[in-house]
Chain A
Amino acid sequence: MSVMPTDIPENDPAPEIRAADLEEGTSLWKDAWHRLCQNHLAILGLGIFVFVTLLSIFGPFLTPYSYETTNLAYGPRPPSLEHWLGTDDLGRDLLTRLLHGGRVSIGVGFCATAVSLLIGVLYGAVSGYLGGKTDAVMMRLVDILYALPFTIFVILLMVIFGRNIILLFVAIGAVEWLTMARIVRGQVSVLKTREFIEAAVSLGLNQRRIILRHIIPNVLGPIIVYSTLTVPAVMLLEAVLSFLGLGVQPPMSSWGLLIKEGAEKMDVYPWLLISPALIFSATLFSLNFLGDGLRDALDPQSSTD
C-alpha cells in the first residue's frame, strides 16, 4: 500500500532555495501579512473577532443591567424591548450576562490555547525531529499524561494550590497540549525526511535553529487549524471545570456555562441557548476564517501561487 509514485521527480531543487528564504524571517512575516490583507474572508473574520472582543470588554457597561442582579419574581422571559435577549430563570438580563461571560471565555480560550500551543508544538517538534529513543520516551510520557484521570487531577490542583485563575490555564493547558504534541510530532517525523531539511542538516545548521526556523514553519498549517479547533474545546472545557469549582464562580458566567445551561432548558426556554450559541459560533467562524487566511498566508509553498 505504500508504494510511492516513481514517476515524480523527488529531487526538486526548489525546497533548498526556500530553506534559504526562511532565514530571512522578517520578509516572510511581512509577506504573510501582505497576503493576509488580501484575503477578504480572513479580514472579515478578524473584524468580527475584534468586534466581539470589544463588545465583551465594554458592552457590560453599556447595558442598563448588572450581570448579577436577580429579579426572582420577573423570572425567565423571552426577548423583549427591555431585555433584548430575554432573562434567565433568576430574572437576570441575558445580554449583560452574555457580554460579561465573553470576557471569561475569550480570555480563557486564548490564554489556554496559547499555553497548549507553546508546549504542544515545541514538545511535538522536538520529539518528532529527534526521533529514536528520545522520541520514544517523550511520547510514552504523553501516553502517561493522557491516561491520568482528569477530574482527580483538577481536584488535586485545587487542593494543593487553592482556587486560582492561573490554575485554570494550567489545568486546561495540561490536557490540550497532548493532542497538539501528537499531531505535530506526526507531521514533523514525516517532514524531517524531506530534502530541504536534510539539506539544512548537511549545511551544518544547529538543531535548535532547524526546529524553530525550518520545521515549525512548515507544520504551521495543521497547527493553526488545530488551534482554531482548540479554542472552542477550551471554552467548553472551562464549563466542566466550573463544575469542579475551578474557574468562574456564580454569579459570574461564561459562554460555556451559558450554553451548557441553555442546552438543558432548550425546549422550555430556547432563548437561553440560542443567543449564547450564536455568539459562540460567530466567534469561532470568524476565528476559523482568520485561521485559514493565516494558514494560506504563512504557507511557504503558496508564495509561488
Chain B
Amino acid sequence: MAVAIVLCLWGCGRKETNVIRGDREQILFKGNGTEPAGIDPHVVTGVTEHNILTALFEGLVSENPIDLHPEPGVAKSWEISEDGRTYTFHLRENARWSNGDPVRAQDFVYSFRRILSPGLGAEYAYMLYPLRNGKAFNTGKIDDFSEVGVKTEGDLTLIIELENPTPYFLELLNHASWWPVHPPTIEKFGRIDQRGTPWTRPGNIVTNGAFTLKDWKINQHLVVEKNPLYWDAQEVELNEIHFLPIDSIDAEERAFRTGHIHLTETIPLHRIDYYRENRPELIRFDPYLGTYYYRINTNVSPLGDKRVRLALAMTINREEITRYVLKGGQNPAYHYTPPDTNGYTALSRFEYDVERARELLAEAGFPGGRGFPELELLYNTSEAHRSIAVAIQQMWNEALNIKVKLLNEEWKVYLASVTNGDFQISRAGWIGDYNDPNTFLDMWLTGGGNNMTGWSNSEYDRFIELAGRAIDARERFEYFQQAEAILMDEMPVIPIYFYVSNLLIHPSVKGWHPTILDHHPYKFVSLAAEEDTVGLNTDH
C-alpha cells in the first residue's frame, strides 16, 4: 500500500491525454470493440474488421460520407449498359499503391479471382456471385477464370458483366470483398489462394487507401498512418488512427471518460441514461441497418401454426422494451426490413394487440393459454439479450398465459443449436450487408442458409425471384412489398426492434456523420480541439 501511495503522489501531475494529444496532432483514437480477426479484405467478415479496412483500402467506388451514395473511388467514372448487366469502369491515372505502383484494372481482375478461388475459402465470396460465372468459379464448376464476367481494356478500363441486373451493384462495391489487393505482395508471401500468409503484417502490407498500416500488436492496438501516395491525399486530414480493441464495454466507456479515446464502439446499457441526461452532446443514437428479431422454429408444434406465431408477435410491447430496457433510441419493429432501406419502407405492418392475439390463440386451440406447452426461448449470453428475454417472458405470460423457459448458451453453442434446428424460439439479429431490401428479404427463401426457421412459401420465393430480375426500381420494390406482406402474415420471424448505433463521441471529432451502415470514410474525418476537452471526468 505504501508503494501505491508513493506512486500516486507521483502520478498526481496531470498527464496529457490521448484526446488532447490527438486533437493537436490529428490522431484519432477509436475503440474498436474487439481484436480484428485479420485485415485481409478477402478473408475477414466482421464489422470490426471492416472499420479498419475502410482506412486501408479503396474499391472502384467510394462512399459519400453523409448518405453513402456511391462516389468515384479508384474509378473516376463508369457507364452502365441499358440492360443493367454491364458496367464499364474508368480508373484514374493517379491511383497508387502505397509502394508507388499504379493501381491497374488487372489488379482488380486478380483480386476478384483471388476471393473467388475455392482454395482461399473466402466466406464473403458470395458477395461476388452477381458476377457472371462468379458462383460457378467459386464452387469449382469452372476452372477457367476468363469465363468469369470481368475483363480489362488496357490498364485503366475494367468491364464487369453481371448474371442479373443488380440495381444495388454500386453499393455492393463498397463491401471489402470487392476491394483490390496488390498482386506482387500476395505472390511474394504465397499463392493467390493461400489463406493466412504474413502479407498483412506491418512492413509487408501494401494498400491503396487513404491510410497505410503503421503498427499492429494483437490485443493492444492497430495503428494506421496517412498514405502520402493516395490519389486524394491532400483531402485527408487525419495523420493517424489508433484502433484499440477494448473488449470490455465498461472499460471502453471509462477510457472515453478519461480522454483515452475519441470514440467508442458502443456504450453499456446502464450508462445511457447518465449521458442522455448530463452529456447529451457526447452520445449518438444513429439508425443502423439491422433488425433484432425472434426466429421461430416452425417445425415445432404448436409453433407451426401461424396463428400462434402471430399471437406471440402481437403481445410483445415493443415500446416498453425499446424505451426502458434498451434506452438507446431503438425503433420498435412492426415489419422486418428496416424503414427507408435505400428508399424502401414496408407498408404491411402489424399492431400490438393483446385482444386479437388472445382470439388467435383461442382459434388455434388454446383458449386462455390452456393446454399450451411450455416454450423454450434460446439466446446467446449477453446482458441485453437476457433483459429482453425476461421482459418478453413476462409479457407472454401476462397476455397469453403462456409459460416460457429461458435458455442461454455460449455463442458458438448457440450457433450450433440454431443451425441444427435444435430450438423453439431463438433470439437473432441481421445487419444488412449493403443498403438494399434484398439483403433482408432474400434470406427467407426456401432452404436459404440463414432461414433456419423451416418456413417455406413458394409465393414468397416467386416474388423475391421476380425482384431479382426486375430492372425498374419501382417494380422491384413492389415485389419486395408483396414478399414482405407474406412474411409478416406468416410470421416465421418476430421483428422486435431496429438497431441503432449507440456510441460516445468526443466533440472534437468532425465529419463523423450518422450513416445507415455505420460507415464513416476516414478521409472526411478530422479533429478540431474545442474549449471543453478536459473535464469530462471531473463533473461526475
What residues of chain A have their CB less than 8 Å away from a CB belonging to chain B?
68-70, 72-73, 75-76, 89-91, 151, 155, 158-159, 163, 242-245, 249-251, 261, 264-265, 268-269
Contact = CB atoms under 8 A, between A and B. Distances in A.
B68 to A, nearest CB: 35
A250 B389 contact: yes
B379 to A, nearest CB: 10
B406 A250 contact: yes
B410 A70 contact: no
A244 B273 CA distance: 29
Given A155-B410, A245-B413, A264-B250, A250 B386 contact: yes
Best-buried of A70, A75, A265 by chain B (most CB within 10 Å) = A70
A91 B391 CA distance: 11
B410 A268 contact: no
A279 B386 CA distance: 25
A295 B391 CA distance: 48
Nearest to A252: B406
B325 A72 contact: yes
Interface in B310-337: 320-321, 323-325
Contacts of A155: 410, 413
Contacts of A242: 408
Contacts of B391: 70, 72, 90
A268 B271 CA distance: 7
A268 B381 contact: no
A264 B268 contact: yes
24 contacts: A69-B394, A70-B390, A72-B320, A72-B324, A73-B324, A89-B387, A90-B325, A91-B324, A242-B408, A243-B381, A243-B408, A244-B381, A245-B408, A245-B409, A245-B410, A245-B413, A249-B405, A250-B386, A250-B406, A261-B383, A264-B270, A268-B270, A268-B271, A268-B273
B407 interface: yes
A90 B270 CA distance: 11
Given A243-B410, A249-B406, A250-B386, A70 B394 contact: yes
Given A90-B390, A245-B413, A75 B324 contact: yes
Nearest to B414: A245
A269 B274 CA distance: 11
Nearest to B394: A70
A225 to B, nearest CB: 25
A72 B268 CA distance: 18
Interface string B376-418: 0000010100110111011000000000011111100100000
6 smallest CB-CB distances across A and B, nearest first, come from: A72-B324, A245-B409, A265-B270, A72-B320, A245-B408, A244-B410
A69 B395 CA distance: 10
Contacts of A264: 250, 268, 270, 383
B529 interface: no
Contacts of B324: 72-73, 75, 91
**Among B273, B383, B408: residue with most chain A CB under 10 A:** B408
B236 interface: no
Contacts of B381: 243-245
Given A89-B269, A244-B410, A268-B270, 13 more contacts: A68-B390, A72-B320, A72-B321, A72-B323, A72-B325, A73-B320, A75-B324, A245-B407, A245-B409, A249-B405, A251-B406, A264-B250, A264-B268
